[in-house]
């Protein structure tokens, strides 16, 4: 794929090493806050490239610094954690790993969101920028972050002194592999990923024999009514111009078909793009849950427990323009796309927002271009496995090369000339 402004360094010579790193990490995924092996690989590659490396930041995070004279400081971030998903890709490097989650359960583990690709991208960009340091001046900060999937990692690194122990960047840059033609790059000014709130709702009833429902207060019926009523928040309480997603991902109650249980547990997730909408949706959830419990004669009010929270990721207008202009100088115009906001969520925004520096986040396509084009022509894009699907697997090429290039191009848009 030709470029209009080539990058220094020999990316083609590095690609086999990056492919080996990617497939190795993919085959050995690690859950959130357990990324010791992945962090070790990232740290080893940074040291080999000449970076000053600090490990154990926010438990398993890695920070590499390459000081190369006077100039801006640019932070590049990649997340490292995998998901409790059983892989079904059939790839020769597919994961067969199991691990113990934070609740003590043995679960399958898979890189179903592409963080293995993110690590390989940042290793590649950091290595090439170090090899070509005679072409720029400034400081590079490569950050390998744990626990993005649980919204813990960015804050854990911040709480562990990231802002005090390392130089303040002039810009924070990050990216994510997504469904889309491999080789394509997409982004936008303003909000690019949604806010997310996950909640657990425990509904209390009174258990009884299945043949004696009159002696019970049935939490299963209570939960079913609650799930149906919660759907009306988006359908009937928000204007058509307001966006929100409310998903019930788990409903658990009982153990036997002829036993009415004492309680039911609902786990749900909300995605919003506006703080006012978010507040209204969360208030509506509380109102409905309590009302349905009261209508059922529940012996006590439900327990509503927050599980995790992601803030909006908002791209700085001026910084985004700078990145997009740099992309246009390097990539053919047809490979650069403006996207809408996505309902996926990220904790990347915490770095820029809490450090009070501009940040830019964008997407890199990872779907075979022919597969994507055929699916689009047949109006079947929804059948392509998305992130978090057991069959999600980015094509290696040109996805691997593109992600290294985007990080390098964006970083060099800030780094000073020699």
Cβ atoms of 178 and 366 within 8 Å: the answer is yes
DSSP string, 301-368: PPEEEEEEEEPPEEE-HHHHHHHHHHHHHHS-GGGEEE---BS---STHHHHHHHT--EEEEEEEEE-
Residue 149 is assigned to a ligand binding site: yes
Query: Counting every residue, how long is the chain?
Result: 418
Cβ atoms of 406 and 398 within 8 Å: the answer is no
3-state secondary structure of 253: strand
Residue 354 is assigned to a ligand binding site: no
Residue 148 is assigned to a ligand binding site: no
Of 230, 149, 261, give the one whose Cα is nearest residue 196.
149
Of 89, 81, 146, give the one whose Cα is nearest residue 109.
81
Other Cβ atoms closer than 10 A to 403: 29
Residue 388 is assigned to a ligand binding site: yes
Cβ atoms of 20 and 41 within 8 Å: the answer is no
Residue 387 C-alpha from the chain's centroid: 9
Query: How far is Cα 79 from Cα 68, in angstroms, rounded to an integer?
Result: 25
Residue 113 is assigned to a ligand binding site: yes
Q: Which two tokens stand for residue 241?
A: 């111009």
**Binding site members for Mn(2+):** 113, 115, 149, 176, 388
Residues at the binding site are 113, 115, 149, 176, 388
């Amino acid at each position: 794929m030709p470029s209009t402004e080539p990058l220094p360094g020999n990316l083609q010579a590095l690609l086999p090493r990056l492919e080996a790193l990617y497939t190795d990490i993919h085959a050995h995924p690690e859950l959130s806050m357990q990324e010791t092996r992945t962090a070790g690989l990232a740290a080893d590659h940074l040291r080999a490239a000449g970076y000053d490396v600090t490990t154990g930041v926010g438990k398993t995070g890695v920070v590499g610094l390459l000081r190369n004279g006077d100039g801006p400081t640019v932070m590049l971030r990649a997340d490292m954690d995998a998901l409790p998903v059983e892989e079904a890709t059939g790839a020769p490097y597919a994961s067969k790993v199991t691990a113990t989650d934070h609740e003590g359960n043995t679960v399958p583990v898979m890189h179903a969101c592409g963080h293995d690709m993110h690590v390989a991208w940042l290793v590649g960009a950091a290595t090439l920028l170090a090899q070509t340091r005679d072409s720029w001046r400034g400081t590079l900060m490569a950050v390998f972050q744990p626990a993005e999937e649980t919204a813990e990692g960015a804050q854990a690194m911040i709480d562990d002194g990231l802002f005090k122990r390392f130089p303040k960047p002039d810009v924070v840059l990050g990216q994510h592999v997504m469904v889309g033609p491999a080789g394509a790059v997409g982004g936008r000014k303003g909000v690019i990923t949604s806010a997310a709130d996950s909640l657990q709702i425990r509904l209390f009833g009174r258990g009884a024999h299945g043949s004696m429902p009159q002696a019970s207060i049935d939490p299963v019926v209570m939960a079913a009514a609650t799930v149906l009523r919660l759907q009306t928040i988006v359908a009937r309480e928000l204007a058509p111009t307001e966006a929100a997603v409310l998903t019930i991902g788990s409903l658990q109650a009982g153990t036997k078909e002829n036993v009415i249980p004492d309680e039911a547990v609902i786990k749900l997730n909300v995605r919003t793009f506006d703080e006012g909408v978010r507040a209204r949706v969360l208030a509506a959830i509380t109102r409905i849950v309590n009302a349905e419990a009261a209508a059922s004669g529940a012996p006590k009010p439900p327990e509503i427990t927050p599980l995790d929270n992601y803030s909006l990721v908002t791209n700085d207008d001026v910084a985004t323009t700078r990145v997009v202009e740099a992309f246009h100088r390097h990539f053919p115009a047809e490979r650069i796309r403006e996207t809408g906001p996505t309902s996926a969520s990220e904790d990347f925004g915490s770095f820029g927002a809490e450090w009070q520096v501009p940040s830019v986040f964008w997407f890199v396509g990872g779907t075979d271009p022919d597969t994507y084009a055929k699916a689009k022509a047949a109006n079947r894009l929804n059948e392509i496995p998305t992130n978090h699907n057991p069959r999600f697997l980015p094509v290696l090429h040109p996805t691997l090369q593109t992600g290294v290039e985007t990080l390098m191009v964006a970083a060099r848009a800030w780094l000073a000339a020699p």
